[in-house]
Amino acid sequence: MNFPIYLDNNATTPCDPRVIDAMLPYFTSKFGNAASRNHPFGWVAEEAVDYAREQVAKLIGADAKEIIFTSGATEADNLAIKGVFEMYAQKGNHIITAVTEHKAVLDACHHIEKLGAKVTYLPVNNEGLINLEELENTITDATILVAIMYANNEVGTIQNMKAISAICKKKGTLLFSDATQAVGKIPVDVNADGIDLMAFSAHKMYGPKGVGALYVRRKNPRVKVTAQMDGGGHERGMRSGTLNVPGIVGFGTAAEICRLDMEADTARISKLRDKLETALCKIEESYVNGCVSSRLPHVSNISFKYVEGEGLMMGFNKNIAVSSGSACTSASLEPSYVLKALGLGDDLAHSSLRFGLGRFTTEEEVDYTIEAVSKTVLKLREVSPLWEMFKEGMDINAIEWAHH
């Protein structure tokens, strides 16, 4: 077993060796610019990009022409939200999203609010699901976009996309989904799911960092977004800039492997996740966060009451890599806004760990993690005055803390 053990696959995944093999020639002998149309170096690169575009499209049931390559899901989120806001300004200025969205979506929404957009942030229930009736009642004639993530990055909750898209269709508004955590892990089909725009990224599916895609529907309805990056008109005019050919090739290969191996991967990984979760839930006062009946197969977010998450991680972080929220906001000591939106108090939100398993996680690593985490929780509780009070039957919530 190699240490440290990596259980933070929601933050990023390692590159699959097959992905690296596919990429290597495009750094060296096949180094052409895909936009150089007048010599073989450019043609070879363009051909590779076309093939990757097909591979990526096939994973989500789209047409290759509907894939716009970007630098990642953050850029794709921005292109979708800002691009729709500008393109459909004639129709309206109202956008609906949810409080548990990724920061890239929330911050893009905050940005367009300054430009005159009206944004509604829907709450979620204690499982992280939006209320469909509330969504329907919030859509007005001015609503141009509903932006709801496919699956949450912190707790793994999967939204009911088919039901959400049915509402959007009925009301005549576009549906955008940040599907970064879902694509490659669970079956995602833009037509079956009724999604009009969708963002996802290579580095969450065993591909390279720095490359992602925005799916933009071409018919029924034909969707257009205003470019946020101007230049030579690459990517059907929606995203200029020399294409990251090696990255795109890696993205394509990663997508193909996910499409072919998804079922087998999911069966193995979810079994390991369930083993981990069942064992850790034997620790008293531990709670699984999110929606157990509708969630990603590789994620488990658990709160261990009366233990502080950061302290817990310090107990084993030389040997096990996990996180207490999302990588994007991990520098702040604030408890996770996603967990707070699910109704967790600060204490539970602070005491949570997110375990993200992956293609390369082994049973041995899971066994080691169960033991290490259990030991650390018990050790920290031994020295916790709160735990002692709880064991003596005191109502912790009723304690009056002295303020100096």
pLDDT surpassing 70 at residue 31: yes
What's the pLDDT band for 333 if we cut at 50, 70, 90?
low
How many CA atoms within 13 Å lie on the side-chain side of 207?
34
Q: Which tokens belong to 173?
A: 């508004």
pLDDT surpassing 60 at residue 182: yes
Residue 70, SS3 per DSSP = strand
Residue corresponding to tokens 């002692």: 388
- Read out DSSP for 214-273? EEE--SSS------SS-SS-TGGGTS-S---HHHHHHHHHHHHHHHHHHHHHHHHHHHHH
Summary count for the chain: helices (H), strands (E): 13, 12
How many CA atoms within 13 Å lie on the side-chain side of 28?
5
Give one word for 379, left, alpha or beta, with left for phi > 0 and alpha for psi -120 to 50. alpha
Residue corresponding to tokens 């996770």: 336
For CA atoms 145, 146, 151, 154, give the dihedral sign: positive
Looking at residue 330, its pLDDT comes to 53
Q: Which helix (H) or strand (E) holds 110?
A: helix 103-114
What is the share, in percent, of the chain residues with pLDDT greater than 70?
97
pLDDT surpassing 90 at residue 313: no
What's the pLDDT band for 317 if we cut at 50, 70, 90?
confident
Question: For 193-198, what is the mean pLDDT?
Answer: 98
pLDDT single digits (tens) 209-220:
999 999 999 999
Q: Which of 258, 281, 291, 328 is catalytic?
A: 328
Looking at residue 69, its pLDDT comes to 98
Active site residue 281: no
Residue corresponding to tokens 């925005």: 214
Query: Any residues with CB less than 8 A from the CB of 224 and at least 6 apart, and which?
Result: 87, 216, 238
Rounded to a whole number of angstroms, the distance between the first and last alpha carbons of the chain is: 49
User: From CA 253, how far away is CA 255, in angstroms rounded?
Assistant: 5
For residues 144 and 91, the answer to whether their CB atoms sit within 8 Å is: yes
For residues 201 and 185, the answer to whether their CB atoms sit within 8 Å is: no
Domains recognised in the chain with CATH numbers: 5-10+262-391 (3.90.1150.10), 17-257 (3.40.640.10)
Question: For 296-323, what is the mean pLDDT?
Answer: 90
Question: For 290-317, what is the mean pLDDT?
Answer: 91
Angle at which helix 245-280 crosses helix 363-382, to 10 degrees, equals 60
pTM of the model: 0.95
User: From CA 145, how far away is CA 182, in angstroms rounded?
Assistant: 20
From residue 248, alpha-carbon distances to 5, 68, 96, 363 in Å are: 28, 11, 31, 32
User: From CA 113, how far away is CA 9, in angstroms rounded?
Assistant: 33
For CA atoms 285, 288, 291, 294, give the dihedral sign: negative
User: From CA 89, how far away is CA 186, in angstroms rounded?
Assistant: 34
pLDDT surpassing 60 at residue 326: no
Residue 328, SS3 per DSSP = helix
User: From CA 94, how far away is CA 18, in angstroms rounded?
Assistant: 44
Looking at residue 331, its pLDDT comes to 53
Q: Which amino acid is at 246?
A: P
